[in-house]
Amino acid sequence: MHLLLVEDEKSLADIIKRGLEEEGYAVDVAYDGEEGLFMAQNEPSDLIILDIMLPLIDGLAILKRIRKKGIRTPVLLLTARGTVADKVTGLDDGADDYLSKPFSFEELLARIRALLRRDADVKTAVIGVEDLTIDMASHQVHRGGREIQLSAREYALLEYMALNKNKALSRTALSEHLYDHDFDLDSNVIDVFINRIRNKVDRGFQKSLIHTLRGTGYMLKE
């Protein structure tokens, strides 16, 4: 999953980015409102974490402008002020959730997971695809009752495919959701990851869940 973080407090932004990357998310950071608005409008992401108090353009103004443009990416607002008026304005202007500073990293993660699930229409933290289960909270993956060990990147790729099960996913889409925009894209990387995941998820099972779509990409299929 690919997140955009708009936060001007550099030390906080860096801590959040590092923590989210450890969880397997790809994270781009904008350090002021102008850069944040530009990236929200021009770079696809799965979720925007948006601070309200920002230099140049504030978070609520960014939110209004991207919603007016029809961008429906889920937005989690960060508010230092924590006033009821801010929260109401934010939610009315199209925010999906908010978090008051200071917050715990665990709560931030739980809210991100909830918003990403909501977008994918998955109600609980456990996604099932046939006898494969993926627990988005613990990152544990089981197939046929057996635990499967995946690296953070492998997990992130499988989770994204599970949230979009039965949909064709191009290599470009997969890498956009897995890497930040600084990553120099080589589409072979996705093939390498898919092969590794296949060896762990499908090998030894009668039914393959990961399908190659010739000329298109991949699909995790029930």
Q: What is the DSSP string of 126-193?
A: EEEETTEEEETTT--EEETTEEE---HHHHHHHHHHHHTTTS-EEHHHHHHHHS-TTS---THHHHHH
Would you put residue 215 in left (φ > 0), alpha (ψ -120 to 50) or beta? left
Least CB distance to Ca ion at residue 1 (A): 24
Residues within the interface to Ca ion (CB under 5 A):
8, 51, 53
Residue 28 or 51: which CB sits closer to Ca ion? 51
CB of 79 or CB of 175, closer to Ca ion: 79
Q: Is 114 helix (H, G, I), strand (E, B) or coil?
A: helix
Alpha carbons 212 and 164: distance in angstroms, whole number: 15
Using Cβ positions, the residue closest to Ca ion within the complex turns out to be 53
Cβ proximity to Ca ion, 13 vs 122, nearer residue: 13
Q: At its nearest, how many Å lie between Ca ion and the CB of residue 7?
A: 6
Query: Which lies closer to Ca ion via its Cβ, residue 53 or residue 173?
Result: 53
Shortest distance (Å) from residue 117 CB to Ca ion: 27
Nearest to 157 by CA among 128, 190, 135: 190
